[in-house]
């Protein structure tokens, strides 16, 4: 059994500015997205709502996060590493996330200070980085958030789950691939798997 992950170890495995194209900076402003809530009356969306609204994923032992911005207008993205304690626990969370995205077709997204919109939920393909990669896309349809989208990418790095969110698809592939490669290098996790 490997030693438990530490916050310092996870933080070291997060992307840093030298890992990114020029023009990005670390966003240290308080994250309003933390107060963003997903809701739905559809029973098929129950697990997605639970996972989205959780401050940390169920079962996570240690969490490290970092946010990036490409300027006032973005692009913006967040990276999170969740140490789950074992590769099996990481795989279980990825499978649960995939099932939650597949079962929920639409939900209501509420952003404090902006309002609520219905979002269409769909599964998207993400780079084959890490193990068991999962992707999701929320697109607002009508209301104050109309046309806005948030994309999510998740993948397993051994006993750790890499979770990222983006406000534009342009950055997703490169950033998720780079983040997985760095986490694998720093955490020494396996490169192959289901």
Domain that holds residue 100: 30-187
Question: Are 107 and 36 in contact, with CB atoms under 8 Å apart?
Answer: no
31's CB contacts (< 8 A; 6+ apart) are: 67, 78
Total number of domains constituting the chain: 1
| Whole-prediction pTM | 0.92
Question: Are 36 and 108 in contact, with CB atoms under 8 Å apart?
Answer: no
Indicate the Cα dihedral angle 7, 10, 12, 16, nearest 10°: -120
Dihedral pair phi/psi, residue 90, rounded to 5°: -65, -45
CATH number at residue 126: 3.40.1000.70
3 within some domain: no
- What is the H or E stretch that residue 103 is in? helix 87-103
10 within some domain: no
The pLDDT profile of the chain, 194 residues, written as one tens digit per residue, is 456 899 999 999 999 999 998 899 998 876 555 678 999 999 999 999 999 999 999 999 999 999 999 988 889 999 999 999 999 999 999 999 999 999 999 999 998 888 999 999 999 999 899 999 999 999 999 999 999 999 999 999 999 999 999 998 888 889 999 999 999 999 985 544 43
Dihedral pair phi/psi, residue 126, rounded to 5°: -125, 165
């Amino acid at each position: 059994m490997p030693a438990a992950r530490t916050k310092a170890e996870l933080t070291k495995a997060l992307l840093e500015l030298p890992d990114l194209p020029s023009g990005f900076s670390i966003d240290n402003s308080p994250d309003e997205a933390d107060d963003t809530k997903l809701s739905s009356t559809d029973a098929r969306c129950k697990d997605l709502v639970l996972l989205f609204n959780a401050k940390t994923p169920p079962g996570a032992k240690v969490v490290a996060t970092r946010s990036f911005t490409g300027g006032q207008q973005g692009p913006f993205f967040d990276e999170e590493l969740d140490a789950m304690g074992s590769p099996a626990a990481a795989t279980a969370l990825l499978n649960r996330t995939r099932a939650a995205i597949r079962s929920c077709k639409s939900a209501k997204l509420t952003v404090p200070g902006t309002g609520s919109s219905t979002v269409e939920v769909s599964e998207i393909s993400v780079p084959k980085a890490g193990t068991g990669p999962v992707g999701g896309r929320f697109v607002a349809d009508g209301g104050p958030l109309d046309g806005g989208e948030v994309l999510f990418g998740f993948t397993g790095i051994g006993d750790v789950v890499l979770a990222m969110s983006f406000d534009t698809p342009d950055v997703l592939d490169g950033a998720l691939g780079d983040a997985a490669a760095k986490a694998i290098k720093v955490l020494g996790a396996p490169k192959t798997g289901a």
